[in-house]
Amino acid sequence: MKINNFVYLFLSPLILLFPFQGCSQKKIDNSTNIKDSTLIEWNKSIPGNFSNQTKSKFDSLEIGIFLNQFPNLKKYEKNISTFYSKRAMAYAWFDQDGLIEHASNLTDRVRNLQYDGVNKELPYVHELDSMIYEVSMENLPKSNILKLELMLTAQYFAFADLVWEGMDANISKSVDWNLPRKKVSYEEFLDSILKTDPEQIKDLKRPVNRQYGLLRKFLENYSELEAKGNWFVIKNSSKALRPGDSSEIVLQIKQRLLELSDLKLNNATQLYDEDLRIAVISFQKRHGLKDDGIIGKTTIVAMNVPYKERIKQLMVNMERSRWVPVSLDRDYLVVNIPEFKLHVNSGDKLLWSCNIVVGKPIHKTAIFSGDLKYVVFSPYWNVPRSIVVNELLKDMKKEPNYLAKHNMEITGYRDGIPEIRQKPGPSNSLGQVKFLFPNNYNMYLHDTPAKSLFNEPIRAFSHGCMRVQEPLKLAQFLLRNDSSWDDEKINVAMNAGKEHTVTLSQKVPVFIVYFTAFVDRDGKINFRNDIYERDNRLAEMIMKN
């Protein structure tokens, strides 16, 4: 029986999000030593449960012999040895009836890495295929049972390394990804898989961020669209299209939005009707555009991004999702730079989001993490030396009254350069509150008097720090468990005109990330512009490696 349940893996949304659940595997010859040496009573109602399989064992020296035969798997020797040592060298992929169900799913995932956004093949896939085929036909020699056992385990670690762990940390560093990489024990996770009833394995948390599985689904969708070969470029319109307009271009737009699932039904008319307006707004929201339902040049440009480019974008962001923590069981903040959004989370629950302003391409906001420790009300703004040298000195020369006009003062000199700060007040560049998480980049979250910028679709205007649209709400969230602070007291402190620093009783992790493709809370795929031009560099590394 040939194993081919990968299609089913994709068709089932439940299985898509969780690893290694597959259809039954045909049993090996019942005369093997696996059956003979299993003396315990097996609970037939829990197929694949390995918690009691301890009798069928092998000598630890066999691992070295196996790896000498398959040297490209030697890098996983420590993982393999650790895994089997904890099992007292007991077989993992076989029970008294033969090969367990989990093996078929792993094999299919190994065969089809393209659906995991991976541009390479694991070593010895063909050898694995041959052994799986032979065991399904009951032709695998008894002497090769252990070889298949070790091959499956080695392939699991190779799969985990490539698909869940991602590219080497040196690669992520080279593309300015300065967040600590996640730490996961894949040996323990494999043990958890094999001890879990396949019917309950959906409850296991995969050792990769949830976004990975969600993006994987859309990688399949866009790959199918690309394979159909129906791509066409939507013509440019001489004027923006609005509801009620009629144009042959409308026919092309309806076809594109139908393929992208924004439009539910294509009535094949040239009229810009209500159904199309709803679909256009859906598309605009998913792409971070002004969601006014008007089809202008910017919207057409986004609709004309080829599917193959979206596939590359999905692969790049699947790689990034391999690097971030799987999940946190506490409060934390996430800033997604290309999305221009701050997300406030508690555990796996998104509490609320708001617009932010990030650094200009020439003053990039760094990708890093820190622990938010201080809330500073009515803050001073200590003007960075670079801004003093490159901007303020010129302004001061042109306008002698510049500092007083902008509520600034000189506090001293260093190497002949004045040290300048702006006093607290409504015109302060940091607004009425700032949120500090000490870091080497001197970047933080803060309020701003320039509120109108939050209405812009592309919000890259700062020198690197992140301006928050709802600073009061963020301060209330951070201090909500501090009985000495209530909403009234926070309001007073923000408008006091005198700097006051509050140290949080519990630090709150902050992650500054860079995702140009992500799935939102409604399950819709979102794309954003690569404002810092980071995607192509990572895509080249993915293809190269």
Cβ contacts of 341 within 8 Å, gap of 6 or more: 335, 353, 354, 355, 356
Q: Is 332 helix (H, G, I), strand (E, B) or coil?
A: strand
> Among this protein's residues, is 446 annotated catalytic?
yes
Residue 284, token pair as written in the block: 């605009």
For residue 493, the SS3 value is helix
Nearest to 371 by CA among 325, 333, 328: 333
Half-sphere exposure of 419 (CA within 13 A, CB side): 7
56 CB-near residues (< 8 Å, 6+ apart): 33, 34, 37, 38, 90, 91, 94
Report the 10 Å Cβ neighbour count for 531: 20
Q: Which residues contact 229 (CB under 8 A, 6 or more apart)?
A: none
Q: Which of the following is catalytic: 102, 287, 343, 446?
A: 446
Annotate 239-304 with three-state secondary structure: CCECCCCECHHHHHHHHHHHHCCCCCCCCCCCECCHHHHHHHHHHHHHCCCCCCCCECHHHHHHHC
Cβ–Cβ < 8 Å for 132, 107: yes
Nearest to 336 by CA among 118, 529, 542, 541: 529
Determine which one of 102, 287, 343, 465 is catalytic: 465
Token couple for 115: 């659906």
**C-alpha distances out from residue 13 to 23, 71, 254, 310, Å:** 16, 37, 27, 22
* Element (DSSP H or E) covering residue 509: strand 500-513
Angstrom CA distances, 244 to 83, 240, 506, stand at 65, 12, 55
Cβ neighbour number for residue 414 with a 10 Å cutoff: 9
* DSSP secondary structure of 131-165: HHHHHHTT---GGGHHHHHHHHHHHHHHHIIIIII
Contact between 56 and 18 (Cβ < 8 Å): no
Across the beta sheet with 417-422, the strand order is 381-382, 417-422, 408-414
Neighbouring residues of 519: CB distance < 8 A, sequence distance ≥ 6: 211, 214, 215, 218, 525, 526
Catalytic status, residue 354? no
Q: 128's torsion region: left (phi>0), alpha (psi -120 to 50) or beta?
A: alpha
Q: Which residues are catalytic?
A: 446, 465
